[in-house]
Amino acid sequence: MTSTFHRIALIGKYHGAHLGATGIHSPDALLTVAHFLVKQGCDVVIEHDWAHRMGVFDFPCLALDAIAVSCDLAVVVGGDGTMLSIGRQLAAFGVPLIGINQGRLGFITDIPYSGFSDCLTSMLHGEYIEDQRNLMDGRVMRDGQCVFSATAMNDVVVNRGATAGMVELRVEVDGHFVANQRADGLIVATATGSTAYSLSAGGPLLHPSVGGWVLAPIAPHTLSNRPIVLANTSVITLEIVAGRDASASFDTQSLASLMIGDRIDVRQSVHHVRFLHPKGWSYFDTLREKLHWNEKVVLL
């Protein structure tokens, strides 16, 4: 049977890895996937930066911008952090992504490395579930000028300074004043990001099919400041009212030393990320496995 995808890019996790490493984080893991894909009749290329950092030149190498316009599919062999970065960069080009998990949790890189061959065999022949995830565009406005902008798949976070007290933020939704919040920070999370920092801050889980965002305070001064779910068609604005050395983070992209009066605008991106999952995949199966639901609790 002919593969649905002809030219496939492999993208590896190289942060924390080093040449000559052994085990699941070694170059051998990605190369094993590459040789498997070749046997399925696919044309395989490897992302340039990973290949050069790892000293792997067994296959043609392409930069990510070339992958974006020339490949039918990208397979990410790494963790959720790798997938977040690649997803943001490929979203505008509509390249579908498959994640083979080499990280710890694997909410969005959901195929275990130990069983990748069985999963990929059927997926390459068109047996998969497509899952589209929304992105958010954020920008920092200062005196009417944009001083920083970025796209995020997980969240936009405003944090207090490392040594300072709480930060005070004026929150607006679609131009309507909501409240001034004093806290260690505030998170605006997508449904994808609802299982990340927002969850640690007490925010709710949001199913990816729900068109919503989570607005979750981090250690709020007033206990009545609770997480709230908003429509992802809303424009959320966070203005720095008080607090020194606050910072804004857009996934892993950040701007430090926000100033009083800076406004962080968050709105839905026109692009989305295309994830492909094996047939039978369920978001609830992922939650149950990663969050250890239904496990027996032993009382001492």
d(CA 125, CA 147): 46
| Residue 262 appears among annotated catalytic residues | no
- The sign one gets for the Cα dihedral 129, 104, 76, 233 is positive
Cα-based distances in Å from 281 to 6, 80, 108, 210, 296: 24, 17, 12, 17, 24
**Residue 113: Cβ within 10 Å count:** 17
Cα-based distances in Å from 20 to 46, 56, 164: 18, 11, 43
d(CA 62, CA 72): 14
Q: Which residues contact 259 (CB under 8 A, 6 or more apart)?
A: 142, 240
Place of tokens 């001034």: 180
Q: Which helix (H) or strand (E) holds 94?
A: none
DSSP-derived pairing of the beta strands 263-278 and 7-12? unpaired
Q: Which one of 80, 155, 251, 265 is the catalytic residue? A: 80
* CA within 13 Å, CB half, 151: 19
d(CA 227, CA 213): 10
What is residue 20's three-state secondary structure? coil
CB of 187 closer than 8 Å to CB of 197: yes
Q: Which residues are marked as active site? A: 80
